[in-house]
């Protein structure tokens, strides 16, 4: 399997590439033990795949030539924005990883009434997770991760859509996407959304749905909803 790396578009010029990003150089030289002459694929987050060959390796730079360029943008059935409440510990890491593998286009972390965590400084780690998951799952574009926002701000900006609420009516798996190309899906925290939040969501034309008869953990609910929408 050819190794893939997301790099800056500025790293590719005139049929050559030059990587100076320290974490990528470490992965290539210390973890994967790259040698001169090895082939790799580079992605610049525009949908292009650059088939390349390493011609020079040093402690501060890996460079080489571009042999071929293929335009293969991500083409999901429709763009999905997962609006997910902040969860305890590192549970969101799993959601971002699996959501990327399942084709999520955008993640919007949000603060709700029942969130145990009321803030987060994990944006750099999250970006690294979705980038690595994109490389692993053969995506050519990395999902967007929005800044953390309050629930009230999120429903104002991202609606209509579906809000997963345990006692709610129709099952998500019985729904089609009548909304259009872009779909917003809401997942609450460990304590679920409050009734007041559900009422506010209804005003913004978010349709309540459930994920089945079993009570799911928040991170499991997120992955289940993403898998249903990906089918």
pLDDT by residue (tens digit) across 175-225?
A: 655 555 688 999 999 889 999 999 999 999 998 988 877 788 899 989 988
Same domain, 114 and 153: yes
3-state secondary structure of 218: helix
Whether residue 109 has pLDDT greater than 90: yes
Find the mean pLDDT for residues 93-108: 94
C-alpha–C-alpha distance, residues 140 and 142, integer Å: 7
- The per-residue pLDDT for 34 is 92
Same domain, 143 and 45: no
Same domain, 159 and 191: yes
| Residues 218, 188 contacting (CB under 8 angstroms) | yes
Half-sphere exposure of 110 (CA within 13 A, CB side): 28
Same domain, 37 and 128: no
Domain of 213, in residue numbers = 79-230
C-alpha–C-alpha distance, residues 54 and 68, integer Å: 14
pTM of this structure:
0.85
Same domain, 142 and 174: yes
Same domain, 87 and 60: no
- The per-residue pLDDT for 181 is 64
Domain count, the chain: 2
**Domain containing 15 — which CATH number?**
2.40.240.20
CA dihedral 174, 180, 182, 184 (to 10 degrees): -40
């Amino acid at each position: 399997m050819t190794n893939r790396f997301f790099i800056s578009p500025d790293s590719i010029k005139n049929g050559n590439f030059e990587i100076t990003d320290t974490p990528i150089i470490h992965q290539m030289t210390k973890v994967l033990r790259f040698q001169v002459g090895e082939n790799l694929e580079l992605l610049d987050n525009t949908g292009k795949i650059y088939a390349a060959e390493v011609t020079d390796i040093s402690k501060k730079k890996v460079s080489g030539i571009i042999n071929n360029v293929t335009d293969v943008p991500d083409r999901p059935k429709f763009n999905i924005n997962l609006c997910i409440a902040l969860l305890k510990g590192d549970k969101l890491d799993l959601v971002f990883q699996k959501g990327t593998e399942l084709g999520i286009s955008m993640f919007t972390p949000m603060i709700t009434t029942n969130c145990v965590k009321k803030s987060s400084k994990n944006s750099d780690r999250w970006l690294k997770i979705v980038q690595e998951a994109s490389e692993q799952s053969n995506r050519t574009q990395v999902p967007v991760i929005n800044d953390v926002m309050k629930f009230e701000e999120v429903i104002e900006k991202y609606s209509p859509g579906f809000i997963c609420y345990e006692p709610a009516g129709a099952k998500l798996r019985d729904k089609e996407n009548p909304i259009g190309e872009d779909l917003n899906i809401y997942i609450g925290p460990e304590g679920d959304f409050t009734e007041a939040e559900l009422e506010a969501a209804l005003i913004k034309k978010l349709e309540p749905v459930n994920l089945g008869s079993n009570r799911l953990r928040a991170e499991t609910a997120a992955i289940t909803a993403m898998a249903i929408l990906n089918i």
